[in-house]
Amino acid sequence: MIRPPPRAPVRQKTLLSVLRRAHLSVVVAAISLVGLSLMTTGAIILMAYANDSLRLVAHAIAYNAQAATVFEDHAAALDALASIATTEDIASATITDRHGEILARWDSPPHGLFAMLAHYSARLLQQRSVSTPIIHDEAIIGVATVSGNGQNLLSYIISGILSIILSEGLIVASAVLVSRRMMDEIVGPLQNFTRVAHAVREDRDFDRRVPGAAITELNSFAADFNALLDELAIWQSHVATETASLQYRASHDSLTGLCNRAVFEDRLLQEIDHANLRGAQIALLLIDCDRFKEINDRYGHAAGDAVLVCISERLRDQLSTGDVAARLGGDEFALLVTSGHHIADARRIVDAIRASMQTPITLPGGERIVASLSIGIAMYPDHAGDVSQLMHLADLAMYRSKFIARQKASKPTTEGE
């Protein structure tokens, strides 16, 4: 079965780009509608103004050509017509007599492309010719007709369009600046939220806080967000403390604080691997308190716990860097010696432990006793080649030591007995 190729990840838009695009679209649309309305209104006003201007020009020609029309003087009529037409924005002007015959006609000379555009713009805007009767003794003796060429009209329209475009450009630029500032006030705080949330999620940095914002709602949100971070920091600290406590309790004896059996055996395996790499030796010491049951029966379990705690403290005092002490259970302890290189080094540690136990132990009831220890030694790799055999030989050596102690019939006694 042919699997379709994986789709390329869709590039997501940023909030800032979406807001800016939406805001700019609204501004441009609004300004475009306003500009279109202004241009339409302006065109209507200019058309009315142009028609009124043509009407005034026609009245002026009719008045100026009245005498020439009465006498039907073509030259005088043409002079009267040209004297006004040449100074006004008209394309053509005619004077007809009472019979409708053209008495005089004036046409604006061509002025190139602009004149052509003006002519078509006048036709597009439906600028019409204007006719005014020539009256003498309350009788119509002729008609003056004027048509605009649209040059002034086109100039006004172009000027108006350029002014509107320039104004709209300035408005759009101002709107963009205002929009950018407004967007920064909105998006900037949101970006701060994003950065802080990312730092908390990825780096567990619960000390980061969101700065305040100028907008009331965002500032209130920042305060609540920071309060939530404070609670999360407290919760994280509590979890870390509880985790560390659980890890410690899982790996250490709750009474003496020494390593428990599982941790000690793992460490023993690691040290054996290291010894194989270095070609070194390690010593395993198994330690048992002699007649510990008699101490519990005679002085109570609190006294027995005090003896165990004291033994663990005196064992710690004999540790060097890399050595490990553990309570395997009950009154049984173990010591892993990695700092020595021969069995003589291990025996010196045993002698130091036994010497330290000569100092009386003060029990909770105030009694002072001297407790003895049975200690067995096994060396790796001289005595054993693996963990189980090493533990077995050390255990045998410890019970041999305990048997010898019992043969001497020693037992713990209170000081002064």
Tokens, residue 289: 């308190």
* Distance separating alpha carbons of residues 89 and 126, to the nearest angstrom: 16
Catalytic residue among 288, 323, 331, 345: 331
* Distance separating alpha carbons of residues 92 and 277, to the nearest angstrom: 116
Tokens, residue 410: 């020693």
331 is catalytic: yes
* Distance separating alpha carbons of residues 218 and 276, to the nearest angstrom: 64
Q: ∠ CA 44-45-48 to the nearest 5 degrees?
A: 90
State residue 90 phi and psi, 5-degree precision.
-130, 150
| C-alpha pair distances (Å), 116 with each of 17, 89, 151, 161, 290 | 46, 14, 9, 19, 127
Helical spans, DSSP H, in 252-300: 261-278, 292-299
Please, are residues 304 and 295 in contact by the beta-carbon 8 Å criterion? Answer: yes
| SS3 category, 364 | coil
Catalytic positions, please? 331
